[in-house]
Amino acid sequence: MAFKKGESGNPSGRRPGTTAGAKLRKSIETKAPAILKTVIDAAIGGDLAACKILLDRIIPVLKAQALPVIVDVGASLPETGGNVINATMAGQIPPDIGAALIAALSNQSKLVEVEELVKRLDALEARK
pLDDT tens for the 128 residues of the chain, in order: 567 777 777 777 777 777 888 889 888 998 999 999 999 999 999 999 999 999 998 998 888 777 788 899 999 999 999 999 999 999 999 999 999 999 999 999 999 999 999 999 999 999 98
Residue 65's pLDDT is 78
Q: In terms of domains, do 54 and 82 share one?
A: no
Residue 116's pLDDT is 95
> What's the full length of the chain, in residues?
128
Residue 83's pLDDT is 95
Let me know if residue 70 belongs to a domain. no
- Is residue 49 a contact partner of residue 57, using CB atoms and an 8 Å limit? no
Q: In terms of domains, do 82 and 51 share one?
A: no
Q: How many CB atoms lie within 10 A of CB 88?
A: 20
Let me know if residue 39 belongs to a domain. yes
Query: How far apart are the C-alpha atoms of 53 and 51, rounded to whole Å?
Result: 5
Query: How far apart are the C-alpha atoms of 99 and 37, rounded to whole Å?
Result: 46
Let me know if residue 5 belongs to a domain. no
Query: Domain span at residue 94?
Result: 77-127
Q: How many CB atoms lie within 10 A of CB 30?
A: 8
Let me know if residue 103 belongs to a domain. yes
Q: In terms of domains, do 83 and 118 share one?
A: yes
Q: In terms of domains, do 91 and 123 share one?
A: yes
Residue 81's pLDDT is 95
Provide the number of structural domains found in the chain: 2
Per-residue b/e over 38-58, b at no fewer than 16 CB within 10 Å? ebeebbeeeeeebbeeeeeee
